[in-house]
Amino acid sequence: MKRILLVVVALFAVVSTTSAQSLGDLLKSGATQLIDKVTGGKATEFLLAGTWTYAEPAIHLDGEQELANIAGNALSQSLSTKMQKAYDYVGIKPGSCSFSFNEDKSFSAVIGKRTLSGTYLFDPETHAIELHFSTLIDLGAMKGYAFVEGETLKLVFNCTRLTTFVKTLGAKISLLNGITTMLNNYDNVMLGFGFKR
């Protein structure tokens, strides 16, 4: 509770000294990541509620080093642009689906012409999200991770097997050396979907 209070006080101090920037601008510029770290993921849990519309592919890279994280942001943006072609090919286009998360831990998803609903569990510390669909057919649970950054939500899924495969292949094909070198800087590589409010 003290951490949350300190973050709120710090935010008001920053907001009062910057007349040209609104609180929304600060949140959009990455302050949500800082607040999220200080609050142990509670900011994402709070900001998750609402309706999100699919906008673009999402990639999330976790690395130990700060330099790796900065490079990761540039790398993920570049990969996201390239992945858009593959997503378009299979019909995943901006506006083609949406998710609405409610504070009571229920959700609904519109995917194409289908509407699905269910409940979700979110672990603030790890950002793990588990979607339980309530349909006539048991779809099981869909496990992934949720990250809110300003007005963007990333729903991503672990790609450890794919990463291991690319690293193994990269050891044998020199053309992939650059990619495998970069991937070695990250503990987790996750792919998925980026949404906007």
Give tens-digit pLDDT for 78-110: 677 778 887 888 888 999 999 999 999 999 999
Rounded distance, CA 121 to CA 132, Å?
8
Q: Which of 5-19, 47-61, 159-173 comes out lowest in average pLDDT?
A: 5-19
Check whether 35 has a pLDDT greater than 90.
no
Residue 105 identity: K
HEC assignment per residue over the chain: CHHHHHHHHHHHHHHHHCCCCCHHHHHHHHHHHHHHHHCCCHHHHHHCCEEEEEEEEEEEEECCCHHHHHHHHHHHHHHHHHHHHHHHHCCCCCCCEEEEECCCCEEEEEECCEEEEEEEEEECCCCEEEEEECCCCCCCEEEEEEEEECCEEEEEEECHHHHHHHHHHHHHCHHHHHHHHHHCCCCEEEEEEEEEC
Rounded distance, CA 99 to CA 191, Å?
17
pLDDT at position 21, please?
Answer: 43
The 10s digit of each residue's pLDDT in 146-190 is 999 888 999 998 877 666 666 666 666 665 566 666 666 666 778
pTM attached to this predicted model: 0.71
What residue has token string 């790609």? 159
What domains does the chain contain, in order, with CATH numbers?
2-39 (no CATH), 48-196 (2.40.128)
Cα angle: 153, vertex 124, 135; to 5 degrees: 65
Rounded distance, CA 156 to CA 58, Å?
7
Q: What is the mean pLDDT of residues 108-119?
A: 90
Q: Residue 123: beta bridge partners?
A: 128
What residue has token string 């979110």? 122
Distance, CA of 124 to chain centre = 13
Q: What is the mean pLDDT of residues 41-62?
A: 90
